[in-house]
Chain A
Amino acid sequence: MKTKANQHGLETLLRFYREMQRVRQFDQKAAELFTQGRMAGNIHTCVGQEATAVGACQALEPTDFITATHRGHGHCLAKGGRAAIMMAELFGKATGYCKGKGGSMHIADLGLGILGANGIVGAGIPIAAGSALASKIKGGREVTLAFFGDGASNEGAFHEALNMASAWRLPVIFLCENNKYGVSVAIDRVTSIADIADRAKAYDIPGIVVDGNDVVAVFEAVSAAAARARAGEGPSLIEAKTYRHRGHYEGDPQIYKPADEVAAWKKRDPLILLQDAILALDPAAADKLAAVEDEIRREIEDAVRFAEESPYPGPAEVVSDVYAADNERSVAR
């Protein structure tokens, strides 16, 4: 990051930092609330992976689309999701993005181009390719980006989607967040190649490895892939090497992670890396960084307050939204 960051100017870097703080503070707060038993279900945080979510979404336009994963809070926030409405969804409130029906793993806002987080590993990959197919059929210039993990790249859905997207030169970006683990299983125990990006060769598309903790590197790689997609040159596979700092889910004791590995990655915390780069560019920016943190802290506090004060959906809501036009007998009988 030492070399490239300064080419983007202080303002851009501060914008990235602000977005990464939102993602970090949102998930830290969610984990805290969950541990306190103030939230039901379970949650998967992306603490440590903020640079991929933010770097990728900053390279997209508001009219572009994404599919997110079960670890999708960061993806959705980075694509423009509002913290308060997301938090309300995590609380199962009527004011949430999905009226409390989806919860943490299913946040969607079609208006923001968020085609949905997903509880089924790998399922979003061909859905993103399908969105890209729609752009091709309709003649739109939108790009769709699929976020997925290293684990998901072993699902059949990944391979089938890459093949079709490549054969039909679809405007889609496959962004693998390789955080090394699928729950407890280290990727190298179930995959023989070192870089998931190498699989691109099999489908004759570019396969790029980037430092997933370097927001600028992710931003540049996704910008290039988006330009390629918009030019009609087809999909790209980008592998962002990153790390999840917390457990797979909250409460996961993480017995499968070596302590030195955790420590080494903590030193490469994407927020600290970006902070260092900003201060190297302008030592006087420290105040600005602190102000950003404060501003986001207030935003997240407001989000929690909004979520807590919001009403639960009423019992009648349990039977609505099953179909576009609900037929009483089909739902009730």
Chain B
Amino acid sequence: MKTITYGQAISEALREEMLRDDNVFILGEDMAVMGSVFGLTKGFLEEFGENRVIDTPISEAGFTAMAVGAALRGLRPVVEIMYVDFTPVCFDAIVNQAAKMRYMTGGQTSVPLVIRCPGGAGRRNAGQHSQSLEALFTHIPGLKVIAPSTPADMKGLLKAAIRDDDPVICIEHKLLYAAKGEVPEGEHLIPLGSAAVRRPGRDVTVIAWSRQVHSALEAAKTLAAEGIDAEVIDLRSLVPLDWETLASSVRKTHRAVIVHEAVKRGGYGGELAAQIGEDLFDSLDAPVKRVAGLNVVPPFSPALEDFIYPNPGDIAAAVRETLGR
């Protein structure tokens, strides 16, 4: 094991996959000369050359669609969209082109494309730079969506995403780039669609992803001191979903609390709650609860921003409520 940051994990995953497979190349704004605005691809231009590390113009619609075209020709592009908030600029490429190509060609082709984009709030960046938009992508058949919470998961999942034959959106939480964690040495892959049980427990299943996993773990610590034993599941891959891990946990605890930073209405938590209600109703001792972002635009003011997304106190309160305490 070694300890690296979430940002370094992205760097390592990209570099290892580019070394392993000549078809992998990266493109996006400021990726080459600057080494990305978050410093993730420093030195890549020198190592891999300008055919494989491409500084694009500010033309998201164009270069994302070009990545689809290159993928159809057998390459494996990894696109960076500087913030997830800018993906709407290139939504056609993602939603109508990348996601549908395999199906509409009757399986003739695939689009092995990875789109990486930082998401999430917490940096006082206001409404157009702080959103959590994963639900938009989970709604589109043909796309896969990952949202890792630790350096090890980031590295293993991003490498698996690059090897995957389908388009994958990788949502990176910008507040996690500097977070450190242990990552196995050598080849490290995590299959898409495998959740992680971050903390085993008996009384309630708390389901989270991305940065909210850390809030959930903090809440679990508080709850443990009160004699409540929470199981925390890190979904890490939203599509495909590891239903088995999730369902067996709920069958054991009989209670579920879903936590995400994205706004509650239309969030992926609603989908999970519905699936739990449909399939596991008989196991439930309480209604499924959601703890999520407020249905508002992320505000700029530091005095307001911290109110919009869940904190460990909100999660602990929801768990107590589920347990009738």
Q: Do A and B come from one complex?
A: yes
Knowing A156-B59, A156-B61, say if A101 contacts B33 (CB, 8 Å): no
Task: Give the contact stretch, choosing among A77-85, A258-266, A316-324.
Answer: A316-324
Chain B residues, Cβ within 8 Å of A314: 303
5 A-B contact pairs sorted by A residue (CB < 8 Å)? A92-B300, A100-B304, A106-B127, A119-B127, A333-B295
Please state if B59 and A92 are interface contacts (CB–CB under 8 Å): no
Least distance between A47 CB and chain B CB atoms (Å): 20
Chain A residues numbered 88-126 whose CB sits less than 8 Å from any CB in chain B: 89, 92-93, 98, 100-106, 118-122
Knowing A103-B126, A119-B128, A333-B295, say if A40 contacts B302 (CB, 8 Å): yes
**Cα-based distance from A122 to B86 in the complex (angstroms):** 11
Check: B34 CB closer than 8 A to any chain A CB: yes
Q: What does the 1/0 interface line of B27-61 toward A look like (CB < 8 Å)?
A: 00110011001000000000000000001111111
Q: A41-B124, A100-B304, A102-B126 are in contact. List 12 more A-B contacts (CB 8 A).
A: A42-B125, A101-B300, A101-B301, A102-B300, A103-B124, A119-B85, A155-B60, A184-B34, A255-B34, A256-B33, A313-B303, A330-B295
Interface SS of B by simple majority: loop
Please state if B304 and A315 are interface contacts (CB–CB under 8 Å): yes
**Cα-based distance from A317 to B305 in the complex (angstroms):** 11
Interface SS of A by simple majority: loop
Please state if B128 and A120 are interface contacts (CB–CB under 8 Å): yes
Interface size class of A (residues with CB under 8 A): 35 or more
Check: A185 CB closer than 8 A to any chain B CB: yes
Q: A-side interface residues toward B, CB under 8 Å? A: 40-42, 89, 92-93, 98, 100-106, 118-122, 151-152, 154-157, 182-185, 189-191, 255-256, 312-315, 317-319, 322, 330-333
Knowing A120-B86, A185-B29, say if A319 contacts B125 (CB, 8 Å): no
For B57, give its contact among A119, A184, A190 (CB under 8 Å): A190
The 8 closest A-B pairs by CB, nearest first: A103-B300, A92-B301, A312-B303, A100-B301, A119-B128, A184-B34, A190-B57, A41-B124
Chain B residues, Cβ within 8 Å of A182: 29, 57-58
**Cα-based distance from A122 to B129 in the complex (angstroms):** 15
Please state if A101 and B297 are interface contacts (CB–CB under 8 Å): yes
Chain B residues, Cβ within 8 Å of A104: 300
